[in-house]
Amino acid sequence: MTATGIAAPCHSDGKVQIDVEADGNGRSSYTTLASSGALAVRATLDGAWLVGASAHPIGGDALHVDISVGAQAALSVRSASATLARASVPSRASRMEITAAVADRGTLRWSPEPGVAAAGCVHRSFARVSLHPNARLYWSEAIVLGRVDEPFGSWSSQIRIDVAGRPLIVSDLALGPAFPSWSSSAVLDGARCACSTVVVRPGRSAPEAFTHVTAGRPVTAGLVLPLSGCAVQLMSWGASLPECRDIMHALADDPRLESWRLNWSEPPLNWGE
C-alpha cells in the first residue's frame, strides 16, 4: 500500500508479433502469431485482433507490437476494444511501441479502436512504419481525452512512415495537461478528440488540400493533406469521437477523393486496383 492507501499497480509488459506471407494462391497466411503479457492477439477471417489479457496500459507498462507483411501479402490489424490508459501511484508514464514493415505489393491496414486518456494518466505511443515503394498502407488512429463527464489525462502519439528508407510523414501530437500547449489554437484549441488516417496507394495522384469545418466551440474541423508521392492524410478534431468520425466520413466521401475509393464500409483490404 502507498501513503495514500491506494495499492500501487504491478508493472506489466506485453508484446505481440505478427508476420504474414503470401501463399502463392492469392491468400495470406500467418508465419508468426505470438503474444505475451498484457497483450494478446487472435486471428479471424477478418484479420488479426488485439485483445487485452489484463488491464492496460497503466503507468509504467511497456507494450510492443511488431508487424511484418511479406511481398504480395495482406494484413488487417484491429482491436477488440478501446485502449484505456490509466494513472499509476506513484505517477509514471506508460508506453506503447509499434513497428511495421510492408514488402513489395504488400498491404497493411492498422485501425484499432480509439485510445482514451483517463484521469491522471500519461501515455506515450510511438509507431515506425517502413514501406516498399509498391506497398499499400491504411494507418488510422483516434485519441480521446477522458471518459464521458470525467477528468482526463495526457496522451502523446508519434508516428513516422518511411517509403524506401525516406520519410513520408513524421508526426507528433501531444494532448492533455502534461503538454501545456495542447489547448492553444495552434494545436486543438480545447477539442478533446482527434482522429488521423494516412493512406498510401502507389499509382494514385495526391489530391489538393482542403478543409471541412463545423462552427462551434470548440470547432469541429477536418483537413485533407496531400503527402509526397501517392499518399494522403485525413485529420479531424472536435469535442467528441462521434463528431470527429462524422467529419472523417465527410472527408472520405468528398468527390475530390473519389479516385482513392475511401469507402469506410467495405472490407478492410478490398480497396480496388
DSSP secondary structure, 36-64, as one string: EETEEEEEETTEEEEEESSS--BTT-EEE
Would residue 269 count as lying in a domain? no
Residue 192, C-alpha cell as written in the block:
478533446
Please tell me the predicted confidence (pLDDT) of residue 6. Answer: 36
Would residue 251 count as lying in a domain? no
Would residue 172 count as lying in a domain? yes
Please tell me the predicted confidence (pLDDT) of residue 206. Answer: 80
Amino acid at 191: A
Q: How far apart are CA 165 and CA 41, in angstroms?
A: 29
Please tell me the predicted confidence (pLDDT) of residue 31. Answer: 94
Q: How far apart are CA 112 and CA 100, in angstroms?
A: 14
Would residue 147 count as lying in a domain? yes
Q: How far apart are CA 225 and CA 209, in angstroms?
A: 5
Would residue 273 count as lying in a domain? no
Would residue 199 count as lying in a domain? no
What is the tally of structural domains in the chain? 1
* Closest among 191, 184, 250, 261 to 223, alpha carbons compared: 250
SS3 140: strand
Beta partners for 26?
A: none
Q: Which residue has the cell 486496383?
A: 273
- Sequence-distant (6+) residues with CB within 8 A of 216 are 239
For residue 161, the enclosing domain spans 13-190
What average pLDDT values come out for the chain (273 residues) when binned by 10 residues?
A: 39 88 88 92 90 82 96 94 88 94 95 94 96 95 90 94 95 90 76 92 86 68 88 91 89 84 48 37
Would residue 105 count as lying in a domain? yes
* Closest among 145, 99, 107 to 123, alpha carbons compared: 145
Q: Which residue has the cell 505478427?
A: 18
Would residue 252 count as lying in a domain? no
Please tell me the predicted confidence (pLDDT) of residue 172. Answer: 92
